[in-house]
Structure 1
Amino acid sequence: MHMNLKDKTLWQRNAAAIGGMVLFAAGINFFIVPASLYNGGVLGISQIIRTLLIQVFPSLASGTDIAGIINFILNVPLFIVAYISIGKSFFSRTLVCLISQTIFLSIFPIPATPLVNDSLTASIMGGLLAGTGIGISLRSGGSSGGMDIVGMFFTKKYKNFSVGKVSLTVNAVVYGICAILFGIPTAVYSIIYSAVSTLMTDKAHTQNINTEVVIYTKEEPEAILDYIVNEFHRDATWWEARGGYTEETTYMIVTILSKYECVHLRRGLKNIDEHAFVVVKEGMHIGGKYEKHL
């Protein structure tokens, strides 16, 4: 039964990761590419290489968009980083994401005429879809590769780092190249797309949001403490208290989890103490030793 549940969870995560890549590819092919805008990071570099190759070899413009294939090739060194520094499960789901991303970028048709009439709308719509897709993939334990891998590496290493910050830094270089090669307007609207996409990524990536969790229970707290330590590999502090109205003995348990972990905590508490009262405060600034679980 345990293995079946584990396999089911694995399939659910892979399905979510692939679904995220569907949104990402839709945002790129339906809005960004028709508006002649560019993604950031490694995919943006791949799109620039694609454009330059088409200028030299016009025949490449027909048929499958080769940007996804170039992106896959450029991601190979980063896969080594993901495997060594972040973890095997992240590596495997990132591989699933990148393969599915390459397939969707190749099969999703690029409209001959843009779906929207202005570049601003295209950049916002593309950013909403693509950023949400990346965030969902990160939440499932994988990523679309590229700067997401670098971002996850630094997020794991530094407490106050977010996945989007690395992307913004690298994108500044990519869009500087776009400004030189394709003009200032292209770079400006691509930057708007990148900003919207980064915002949506950090909002959807709930593992990047710290929460303080306070649990009030009248049962013995050891079972809840064991669950927090064994399930999330987190520490917790508890003490005995007394209710102000009932004057009954109660127990308070305090721990710090990610918003993603907090969802699973609520589910687990139902099996331990369904009457437990839980208070959650998001966006905590944490000092000292605290490892992000990505």
Structure 2
Amino acid sequence: MQSKWTSNFLYVIAGSFLFGMAVNIFVVPMHVYNGGIIGIAQIIRTLLTEIFHLEFNFDIAGIINFLLNIPLFLIAYKSISKKFFVLTLLSIIVQTITFSIVPIPETAILKDPLTSMIIAGLIGGYGTGLCLKAGGSGAGADILGVFFAMRSKTFTVGRLSIVINALVYTYCAFAFSFSNAIYSIIYAVVFALAMDKIHTQNIIVKAMVITKHQEVKQKVLTELGRGVTSWQGMGVYTNEETDVFITILSKYEVSMLKQCVLALDPNAFIILSEGNEIVGNYEKRF
């Protein structure tokens, strides 16, 4: 249990650092806005520096982002879980430090804004996906995304991210630059797609297991807590009866399924398929 917490902490720290680094190195130099709560923090930072002429020795967007997240932390603590709250709080602390200490290049590292947005989206989405995979989030819209995903079988964190970002970028298009808003949208879409791919709790997997051990399906039922449907099969080559069963689980749980099955039957046959549409009493777990 202790090693699991340690790995989760490391995932969150690494993921939050990757996200913050991607924003400071690739997004901010292009005058592109991140979207979500951080995008709102960047807009406030811009208003403070350009309209009110306030000067800061570091990027204050990280601190503004932290303050804006305080109400969302209450949702994480009361409505999701204490573990989610702790890991999300760690994530936002690491993000705030990263935004403040990672220097923003005076000139963009990559001259092509499209390439910069794709790379930033991949790195930032991967980092946030690591936080979600560990059982936390990147805070902000991710907290609301997990909150709604727990209540809807078709909802994903990435989809909410796209909706909120669209609102932020619409404002940016009229207030700042239309072309930068377009690049921001490209960044947001790549970010959301990368995040949902890493967020394995969000990916539904159908598993079919063929085994000669009757105890396997009961072990899967008790240890994973997933429903199992079984029937008797026949091996055509061996002409021997086999036990066949299917279960629906998240991609995050696949490694646990393999351990359960192969511990009792190393010769079991496991067939996995992703992208299934599930209608019925399937429980999303975060």
Which range is displaced more, 261-270 or 174-183? 261-270
The alpha-carbon deviation at position 263 of structure 1 amounts to 2.2
Which of the numbers 271, 275, 278 marks the counterpart of 1:286? 278
Q: In the aligned structure 2, how far is the partner of 1:140 from the partner of 1:227?
A: 25
Q: C-alpha offsets along residues 170-204 of structure 1, whole Å, 9 cap, x if unaligned?
A: 11110011112112011111111111101111111
Q: List alignment gaps of at least 5 residues for structure 2.
A: none
Instruction: Output the aligned Cα RMSD.
Output: 1.3
The alpha-carbon deviation at position 100 of structure 1 amounts to 1.0
Which range is displaced more, 117-126 or 170-179? 117-126
The alpha-carbon deviation at position 59 of structure 1 amounts to 4.6
Name 1:24's counterpart in structure 2.
19
Q: C-alpha offsets along residues 125-157 of structure 1, whole Å, 9 cap, x if unaligned?
A: 111111111111111111110110111111111
Which of the numbers 99, 118, 121 marks the counterpart of 1:124? 118
Q: In the aligned structure 1, how far is the partner of 2:57 from the partner of 2:219?
A: 54
Confirm or deny that 1:264 pairs with 2:265. Answer: no
Conserved 8 A contact 2:41-2:61 = yes
Which secondary structure state, in structure 2, belongs to the residue aligned with residue 24 of structure 1?
helix
Q: In the aligned structure 1, how far is the partner of 2:54 from the partner of 2:68?
A: 22
The alpha-carbon deviation at position 79 of structure 1 amounts to 1.0
Q: C-alpha offsets along residues 53-84 of structure 1, whole Å, 9 cap, x if unaligned?
A: 11145453x42211111111111111111112
Q: C-alpha offsets along residues 255-276 of structure 1, whole Å, 9 cap, x if unaligned?
A: 0011111122113333222221
Conserved 8 A contact 2:220-2:261 = no
Q: In the aligned structure 2, how far is the partner of 1:161 from the partner of 1:130?
A: 21
Matched residues, percent identical? 45
Which of the numbers 136, 155, 160 marks the counterpart of 1:166? 160
Which secondary structure state, in structure 2, belongs to the residue aligned with residue 191 of structure 1?
helix
TM-score by length of 2: 0.96
Q: In the aligned structure 2, how far is the partner of 1:97 from the partner of 1:218?
A: 45
Q: In the aligned structure 1, how far is the partner of 2:221 from the partner of 2:246?
A: 12
Report runs of 4+ in structure 1 exceeding 6 Å deviation: none
Which secondary structure state, in structure 2, belongs to the residue aligned with residue 130 of structure 1?
helix
Confirm or deny that 1:276 pairs with 2:268. Answer: yes
Q: In the aligned structure 1, how far is the partner of 2:236 from the partner of 2:80?
A: 46
Conserved 8 A contact 2:205-2:251 = yes
Name 1:87's counterpart in structure 2.
81
Q: C-alpha offsets along residues 79-129 of structure 1, whole Å, 9 cap, x if unaligned?
A: 111112221111111111111111111111111111011221211111111
- Residue type of the partner of 1:121? T
Q: List alignment gaps of at least 5 residues for structure 1.
A: 1-5
TM-score by length of 1: 0.94
Name 1:139's counterpart in structure 2.
133
Q: In the aligned structure 2, how far is the partner of 1:109 from the partner of 1:213?
A: 47
